[in-house]
Amino acid sequence: MADQQDNRDPQTKVTFAKEWLRHATDRVQSLALGEPRPRGDRPRIGLALAGGFARGIAHIGVIRALRNAGIPIDCVAGTSVGALIGAVYCAGVELNDMQRIAALTTFADFGRWTPSWLGLANNLRLERYLERFTPVKTFEQLVTPFAVAATDINAGVTVYYTRGPIGPPLRGSCAYPGLFVPIQFEGRTLVDGFLTAPVPVEGASLLGADITIAVYLEAGSLTTPRTAADVISRSFSIIQHHTDLAWRQQADIIIEPDVKSFVWDDFTRTDELIAVGEAATQAAIPEILKAFAADKNRPGLT
């Protein structure tokens, strides 16, 4: 007997898939906790932060604009620099302190050139760099639920970390292929999460988000590559640009700060990057509030 054809329109399929994932998440959490996940009087807002090296500083502006608008952030999932920004924010670090340290950052703060067969550099220094922001070392010490997205390069799948030490999975999530040496952790070989979760919307859902705000940072190509790192970054950006449909369908809101004019190591342009993140988020506030109100009225939420 032939399979029955699915004649639903694409938008209906996306809505069904999102509802299925929402209910599946509730079921998983119910099994893990032994009881249903409690529903509050408002939907839980999740933030999914993409990678982008220095461009990720724009995430600080996104968070600042959300807070200024009174929009709560109940959980965060991050990939690569999005994981770094997410970890620091979820540890309770003030945004002004994040901005100050970001402006003083250089590649040497988190990477060291050590050419080998597996990469041009290592990121062992990243854990020490994290200590400049916060003494927090485990997920359990964070004040806001947080997930790090990394890629198991052997299995070709996303691995989300929400428990235990933050440092190793964070380094794995930031281990850009070809640039940084892969990280060995808990029997897995980890590289940058962007390969399988460029914007970790699924991670926010797994943390219990009812509405997920995805923040994507598209790299530009306005200048000729200067270094091997530029070539690697530009190449993967092209691949990512053509394979980013899944997370877009899963996200409820998508914010895309215009960071095309910034290069991967533009840490000295911190203030500009934050301003770009704020502007893009302020423009999206009406859409976020609309989604917030719609989800709050969804049957079964309260």
192 included as an active-site residue: yes
Is the CB of residue 106 less than 8 Å from the CB of residue 267? yes
- According to DSSP, the β-strands at 146-152 and 188-192 are antiparallel
Task: Name the residue type at position 221.
Answer: S
Say whether 173 is catalytic.
no
Question: What are the angstrom distances between the C-alpha of 99 and each of 61, 93, 102, 215?
Answer: 9, 10, 5, 18
Angle, helix 81-90 to helix 95-103, in steps of 10 degrees: 140
Chain-centroid distance of CA 94 in Å reads 19
- Among 180, 69, 160, smallest CA distance to 116 is for 180
Question: How far apart are the C-alpha atoms of 96 and 161, rounded to whole Å?
Answer: 27
**Catalytic residue among 192, 210, 252, 265, which?**
192
Q: Which residues are catalytic?
A: 80, 192
